[in-house]
Amino acid sequence: MNEEVATEALKGETLPPARSVLGWPRQAMQSGNWERACERWSILRQVYPEVEAAWVQAAVAHRHVDQYEVAEELLNAARKRFPDQPGPVLELATLRCEQERLDEAMALMAQARADFPESQALLLKSAQVSESAGELDTAMAFNRLAREVFEDAPAPWLQYAELAMYAKDWETALARWAEVRARFPQHAEGFTRAADAAQAMGNERSARQLRLAREYGNAWLESLQDEDDTEEEAEHTITPPQRRDWRTFIDLVWTKARLNLKSEASKNHLRYLWWVLDPVLYMTVFYIVFGVLMERGGPGFIAYLLTGLVPFQWFAKTVQQTSNSILGGKGLMHKVRISPLFFPLVGIVQNTGKQCLVFAMLGLFLVLYGLPPTIHWLAFIPIVLVQLLLMTVVSCLLAMIVPFVRDLTNLIPTGIQFLLFSSGIFYTIDRIPEEWRSIFFANPMANLLYQYRQIFFENQWPDWSGLGWVTLGSLLGLMIVIVSYRRLEPVFPRVVIE
Amino acid sequence: MMGIAEEIKEADTAEEKGVIISLRNVGVRYKRRGGLFRKPEYFQALEGISFDIHRGETLGIVGRNGAGKSTLLKVIAGIIQPDSGVIVNYGVTASLLTLQAGFDSELPGTDNAIISGMLMGYTRKQVEARMEDIAEFSELGDFIYEPVKTYSSGMRARLGFTVAMYMTPDVLLLDEVLSVGDKQFKKKAEVEMMKKLHSEQSVLLVSHSEGQVNRVCDRSIEI
């Protein structure tokens, strides 16, 4: 049907240009339907007898259906018609190879080389014919010539590599494909055929790399292959330790806390100034309310109040902030392997950093208030350290328990409130009946606040034994914390998302 | 239960074969609800997973959505422990490639690179030494000194990827082949990822796409 319609169309007076109709028989050839191709070429040959392809390609189609005589006839006719084209001779040589008349093929090629010394296709064909004849050296010689004469053409280089593929010399083939890739990176064969060679060698991995390289380029492939010996590459990579050592861990906590402070400060216009303003305002409020408006507690009450309140606030803020820290760190915990201790510790360091300024303000206030520094202020250092230890224990313990019993978060503000009133911030110790005092001091915060008052307010050395007990208790707590964190470390990532 | 002698024997033969991590019948379940007063209900995320990871290979794990791929990665990274079965790590480091871990948008790119890198396992010095490379590869230039909140999402992604890229654990765990940023950077990132996938490093890639896994992996397993 199609053919008839086509013939009808072609009989019209003006023919479409030959180029536009050649696709029709070629389509049949591409789909391997050689008989149909033969028919189509013969139709075309009638309409476009001056087109070489109509003869030569027809011969190709006939060769595929084993009609060697017809093919030969067509080619001979074509040689006469197109004496200055190498095409018919080339196809004739192919036909001879197919017929296993290799000597004739070689003779044909020799003749053709004399007739068309400039033809690349001819040299390549000569190599091919020699290859079919088993004369690989001759084939190589022709190919070399082709590569020398037509250095910028890809075809001779492709044949060069294919020759090695034909000889099953995969190593050489790979090297030659590499050369093809270097010269003609746009040619897919350089990658795909090299991958075939690698596959034939049994190197699946390299085969896959080659196939991927077609997408990612030759530079990528090369960077892969000489990764072993470039030192620069080694510098670029970092192998993490299986577990952080304690020094890296401390640095991590320190850096995170420092950056958190920086981040916090950058949210406000006055930035770091707030760390000074905040305690100053806070102390001013207490000064106005208790010192000026109420005139409660007699002279010096305001200093007494603040020496207790300032360290307590440090404790309260830290505990409040860190108690939820492990729960809050669940996102990170599921991304990187990190000790859960990281989360409360960052909060503690962060608050301590801010507290330094608050203590400085307190010192300034005391001096202005008429309580100049004495030698006893030196004891401030051990007291602060003990409080830090105590806070670490309390914060870490709470942060550890909260993921398991989340309801506890609701109790923490109340607990802190209770501590605020039971630690003797707003009243002096002598208001407490003698028999209750030991219970009162069992509260470590009450004990610590008492020590602060001793050095700042009473100008005395602290009660070392009391401080010792708190230290001992905190150290014991610290051991419990460390052991339980070790134990629970793998449990936390599960618990926090349940 | 295996005897110690058998366990040692198995470990020896495993090492000979180049096995660096092996999973045997690993199962993970999450508690869905329940607690103090209710009977707990569980959700089985993984069940009966067994395979070995060999040195230098690129292993692909294919699974549908919800097949437990991410959970599996977390088990191998040592973030969570399996409820049943065993995972044996023959002394190698395995970590997840995570982007923008611990980023704080108030802070400049440099600080974020430092903290993110440190969380992944670098030391501070290691990150600082690479800061120029990071600024260059991420194409941020002087923008790296600006707060991350001023970045476009593409710039953020580029920074996150660049920091993570330098990480080279023995076993790199990947959740899909990461490609981030705009079109041009995506290609660059992908090339870099492919480099990792084909280096001497062992890589475990989980993906929902079988095609992707077959394209880049030496071997694949379905879960």
pLDDT digits (tens, 9 = 90+) for B100-149: 888 999 999 999 999 998 998 888 888 898 898 889 888 888 899 999 99
Q: Are strands B19-33 and B41-54 parallel, antiparallel or unpaired?
A: antiparallel
User: Mean per-residue pLDDT for B1-30?
Assistant: 72
C-beta atoms of B119 and A262 within 8 A = no
Q: Assess whether B65 and B135 both reside in one domain.
A: no
* Helical spans, DSSP H, in chain B: 4-16, 69-77, 109-120, 124-129, 131-137, 153-165, 183-197, 210-216
The residue in chain B having the minimum alpha-carbon distance to the alpha carbon of residue A266 is B106
- Nearest chain A Cα distance for residue B222, angstroms: 20
Of B167, B190, B218, the CB nearest to A240: B167
Residues A416 and A469 in one domain: yes
Query: Helix, strand or coil for residue A241?
Result: coil
Which helix (H) or strand (E) segment holds residue A315: the answer is: helix A301-322
Across the strands, what pairs with B28? B46
Amino acid letter, A335: K
Q: Which residues pair with B26 in a beta bridge?
A: B49
Partners of B33 in beta bridges: B41
User: Distances in Å between the alpha carbon of A200 and those of A19, A87, A205, A227, A276?
Assistant: 40, 34, 12, 24, 75
Number of residues that this document lists for chain B: 223
Residues of B in contact with A267 (CB under 8 A): 106
Q: Given this model, what pLDDT does residue A448 score?
A: 94
Are B194 and A204 within 8 A, CB to CB? Answer: no
Q: Is B196 among the domain residues?
A: no
**What residues in B contact A336, CB-CB < 8 Å?**
95-96, 98, 101-102, 119-121
Q: Kindly indicate the confidence band of residue B177, based on its pLDDT and cuts at 50, 70 and 90.
A: low
One domain, residues A213 and A269: no
Local structure of residue A288 (DSSP, 8 states): I
Does any domain span residue A336?
yes
- B35 and B102 housed in the same domain: no
Let me know whether B17 and B64 are in one domain.
Answer: yes
Of B98, B124, B190, the CB nearest to A251: B124
pLDDT, residue A335, reads 87
- Decide: A120 and A156 in contact? Cβ < 8 Å: yes
pLDDT, residue A240, reads 67
CB contact under 8 A, B102 and A227: no
Domain check: are A212 and A310 in the same one?
Answer: no
Residues B132 and B214 in one domain: no
Q: Which residues pair with B41 in a beta bridge?
A: B33
CA distance B55 to B97: 18
Alpha helices (H) in A99-135, listed in sequence order:
102-115, 120-132
pLDDT at A123: 79
Q: Do B8 and B91 belong together in one domain? A: yes
Residues B36 and B88 in one domain: yes
Q: Do strands B94-96 and B84-89 pair parallel, antiparallel, or not at all (unpaired)?
A: unpaired
Task: Tell me: do A210 and A258 sit in the same domain.
Answer: no
Mean pLDDT for chain B overall: 84
Residue that wins the pLDDT comparison between B51 and A282: B51
Q: How far apart are CA B189 and CA B193, in angstroms?
A: 6
* DSSP-assigned states of every residue in B96-133: E--SSTT--TTSBHHHHHHHHHHHHT--HHHHHHTHHH
Q: What average pLDDT score do residues B178-185 get? A: 75
One domain for residues A374 and A301: yes
pLDDT at B180 over 80: no
In a domain, A396, yes or no: yes
The domain total for chain A is: 2
pLDDT beneath 70, residues of chain A: 1-13, 224-242, 295-298
Percent of chain B with pLDDT over 70: 89
Domain-located, residue A12? no
Q: How many domains does chain B have?
A: 2
pLDDT at residue A233, as a whole number: 47
B43 lies in some domain: yes
Contact B102 A241 (CB under 8 A): no
Structural domain includes residue B116: yes
| Helices A444-456, A464-488: crossing angle, 10 deg rounding | 140
Considering the domain boundaries, does residue B79 fall inside one? yes
Rounded to 5 degrees, what angle do the CA atoms B174, B177, B182 make? 130
Helix and strand tally (H, E) in chain B?
8, 8
Suggest the residue from B86, B106, B175, B214 to mutate for an interface test with chain A (most A CBs closer than 10 A): B106
What is the per-residue pLDDT for A226?
A: 58
Q: Does any domain span residue A205?
A: yes
Residues in A closer than 8 angstroms to B118, CB to CB, are 248, 251-252, 255-256
What's the domain range around B109? 98-166
Residues A200/A170, Cβ–Cβ less than 8 Å? yes
* B194 close contact with A: CB closer than 8 A: yes
Domain range enclosing A169 = 164-223
pLDDT at B35 over 80: no
pLDDT of residue A230: 45
Q: Residue B84: inside a domain, yes or no? A: yes
Q: Which amino acid is at A144?
A: R
Q: Distance between CA A445 and CA A463 in Å, rounded?
A: 14
Cα A301 from chain centre: 60
List Cα–Cα distances, A309 to A92, A239, A312, in angstroms: 107, 48, 5
In this structure, the strands spanning B171-175 and B94-96 are parallel
Q: Within the 238-297 window of chain A, which residues sit less than 8 Å (CB to CB) from chain B?
A: 238-242, 244, 248, 251-252, 255-256, 259-260, 262-264, 266-267
pLDDT of residue B1: 45
Based on the fold, state whether residues B84 and B110 are members of the same structural domain: no
How many CB atoms neighbour CB A7 within 10 A? 13
Distances (CA, A) of A443 to A411, A422, A425, B48: 18, 8, 13, 52
Assess if residue B53 is contained within a domain: yes
The partner residues of B86 in beta bridges, in order of sequence, read: B24
Compare all CA atoms of chain B with the CA of A211 and give the residue at the minimum distance.
Answer: B215
Closest-approach residue (CA) in chain B for A334:
B79
The answer as to whether B138 is a domain residue is yes
Residues B90 and B9 in one domain: yes
The total number of residues shown for chain A amounts to: 498
Q: Which amino acid is at B130?
A: R
Q: State how far residue A387 is from chain B, nearest Cα, in angstroms.
A: 28
